[in-house]
């Protein structure tokens, strides 16, 4: 259990006030004026589970991250407790419901503030959200496409294209029947042609036919200054894409893409087209062996049978754990993207926007120093050990022809004791700016 102190909260049972402040800075992205309440954010966002999981809470984990848990074993039921709790002693009933609201987005009783959170987290258009759009996250993440109404189909178009009509129709010729299924599995059967083109261009790694109108998608979603973020963070490209993809220069501007979510190799196979389906919905009807590996590396950092090496990879990837992975993958949930809290204040409402979009239209200078806050004090060398001492070679190794070297170099497979040393090298600071898109300047 000692490793859990290094995961997301970076705190042990006897954490000092500074360490608690570090955790709040790492996840709230508002380090200047952290109140005592915000220090509890990490405990609320990651704990989620008390000692005694109720049956309903066990269902939570299956809905939140697995989405394929019909045959969950008892060990898997303890997944959330090990993944997010990190301090399960004094969990209130309200906190137990946190994960359900944050990740499964089953918002039957969502308050208006919570609906706003979901809107900010995923739609990136909070100003004029209609009631229909409030259901976005529930549909996008709870994976209930069978009974999608026509309004919900319109939702996908509005949510991701951010422009419809003639622009979308121009892209219809490029569409494929399984586009939206690959991106979010919302409702592949009856998507209109315009909607079919949406997810492919936004998320499904098919940029070779991006028209000028399609390029405006990122500008609408992330603001003009950060339009390249979407291409780097979500299109999952590398600078050495195959000739068919014809986007050799897409990652020319920054190495950020290589560090964040891409985990791609030079030649995208047809199987890789299912990336978004695997990364966001965590389920597909026929995972190939290669796609299963992709799923493990992209967002969930897991497969149904982790190898010993992969166990090490997961703890260094997103959670930076340094203890032994249990064979039952109890630490699955800590790898995902919770970063949520059950008591979102008005300021905290921007948390999801920061955590998932990794940007706002005007990141303040203080936000750009997030990495320095995250890796302060005894955790400053976390990046160095998590990404190997020679940071400059990370990209070369991560995107070499042999993609298998990605885990070993991107996540380092470091032992337990290496997560705490003393000196932050300049190269490591550079790594942080690449690894955290908040610091990206287009």
Nearest CA-CA partner of 50 in 39, 38, 58: 58
d(CA 319, CA 114): 26
Instruction: Provide the angle, in degrees to the nearest 10, between the axes of the packed helices 17-28 and 36-46.
Output: 70
Token code pair at residue 168: 């979308």
pLDDT of residue 32: 30
Q: Where are the beta strands (DSSP E) in 255-407?
A: none
CA dihedral 88, 90, 95, 97 (to 10 degrees): 70
pLDDT of residue 386: 36
How close are the terminal C-alpha atoms of the chain, in Å?
41
Token code pair at residue 22: 């570090």
Total Cβ atoms within 10 A of residue 73: 10
pLDDT of residue 411: 36
Token code pair at residue 297: 């590396």
Token code pair at residue 146: 């069978």
d(CA 184, CA 282): 9
Token code pair at residue 33: 């004026």
Alpha helices in 260-364 (DSSP H): 275-276, 289-298, 308-317, 350-352
pLDDT of residue 19: 39
pLDDT of residue 403: 32
Residues contacting residue 137 through CB under 8 Å, at least 6 positions apart? 105, 107, 118, 121, 122
pLDDT of residue 366: 32
Residues of the chain under the 70 pLDDT cut: 1-442
pLDDT of residue 359: 30
Question: Using CA of residue 175, residue 177, residue 183, residue 185, what is the dihedral sign?
Answer: positive
Task: Say if CB 355 and CB 30 are below 8 A apart.
Answer: no
pLDDT of residue 184: 36
Strand, coil or helix: 1: coil
d(CA 358, CA 372): 16
Residue holding tokens 């709040």? 24
pLDDT of residue 119: 40
pLDDT of residue 31: 33
d(CA 264, CA 403): 7
pLDDT of residue 349: 34
Task: Say if CB 143 and CB 281 are below 8 A apart.
Answer: yes
Domain boundaries, the chain: 364-442
Task: Say if CB 82 and CB 122 are below 8 A apart.
Answer: no
Task: Say if CB 262 and CB 236 are below 8 A apart.
Answer: yes
d(CA 63, CA 243): 39
Task: Say if CB 63 and CB 78 are below 8 A apart.
Answer: no
Q: What is the mean pLDDT of the chain?
A: 34
């Amino acid at each position: 259990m000692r490793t859990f102190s290094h995961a997301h909260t970076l705190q042990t049972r006897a954490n000092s006030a500074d360490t608690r402040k570090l955790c709040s800075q790492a996840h709230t992205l508002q380090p200047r004026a952290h109140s005592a309440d915000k220090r509890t954010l990490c405990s609320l966002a990651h704990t989620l589970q008390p000692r005694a999981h109720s049956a309903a809470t066990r269902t939570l984990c299956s809905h939140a991250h697995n989405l394929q848990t019909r045959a969950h074993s008892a060990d898997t039921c303890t997944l959330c407790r090990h993944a997010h709790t990190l301090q399960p002693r004094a969990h209130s009933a309200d906190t137990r419901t946190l994960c359900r609201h944050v990740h499964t987005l089953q918002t039957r009783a969502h308050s208006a503030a919570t609906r706003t959170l979901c809107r900010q987290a995923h739609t990136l258009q909070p100003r004029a959200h209609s009631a229909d759009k409030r259901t976005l996250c529930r549909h996008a993440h709870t994976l209930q496409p069978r009974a999608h109404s026509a309004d919900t189909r319109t939702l996908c178009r509005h949510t991701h294209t951010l422009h419809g009509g003639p622009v979308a129709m121009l892209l219809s010729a490029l569409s494929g029947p399984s586009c939206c299924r690959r991106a979010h599995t919302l409702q592949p059967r009856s998507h209109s042609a315009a909607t079919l083109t949406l997810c492919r261009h936004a998320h499904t790694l098919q940029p070779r036919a991006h028209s000028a109108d399609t390029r405006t998608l990122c500008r609408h979603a992330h603001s003009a200054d950060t339009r390249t973020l979407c291409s780097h963070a979500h299109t999952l490209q590398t600078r050495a894409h195959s000739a068919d993809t014809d986007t050799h220069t897409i990652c020319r501007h920054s190495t950020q893409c290589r560090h964040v979510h891409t985990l791609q190799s030079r030649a995208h196979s047809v199987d890789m087209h299912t990336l978004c389906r695997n990364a966001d919905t965590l389920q597909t009807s026929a995972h190939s062996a290669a796609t299963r590996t992709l799923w493990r590396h992209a967002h969930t950092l897991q497969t149904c049978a982790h190898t010993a090496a992969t166990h090490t990879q997961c703890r260094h990837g997103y959670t930076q754990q340094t203890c032994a992975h249990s064979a039952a993958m109890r630490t699955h949930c800590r790898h995902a993207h919770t970063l949520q809290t059950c008591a979102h204040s008005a300021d905290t409402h921007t948390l999801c926007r920061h955590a998932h979009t990794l940007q706002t239209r005007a990141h303040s200078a203080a936000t750009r120093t997030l990495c320095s806050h995250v890796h302060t004090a005894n955790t400053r060398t976390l990046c160095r050990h998590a990404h190997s001492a020679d940071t400059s070679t990370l990209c070369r190794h991560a995107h070499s022809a042999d993609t298998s070297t990605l885990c070993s170099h991107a996540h380092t497979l470091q032992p337990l004791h290496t997560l705490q040393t003393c000196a932050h090298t300049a190269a490591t600071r550079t790594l942080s700016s690449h690894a955290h898109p908040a610091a990206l300047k287009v």
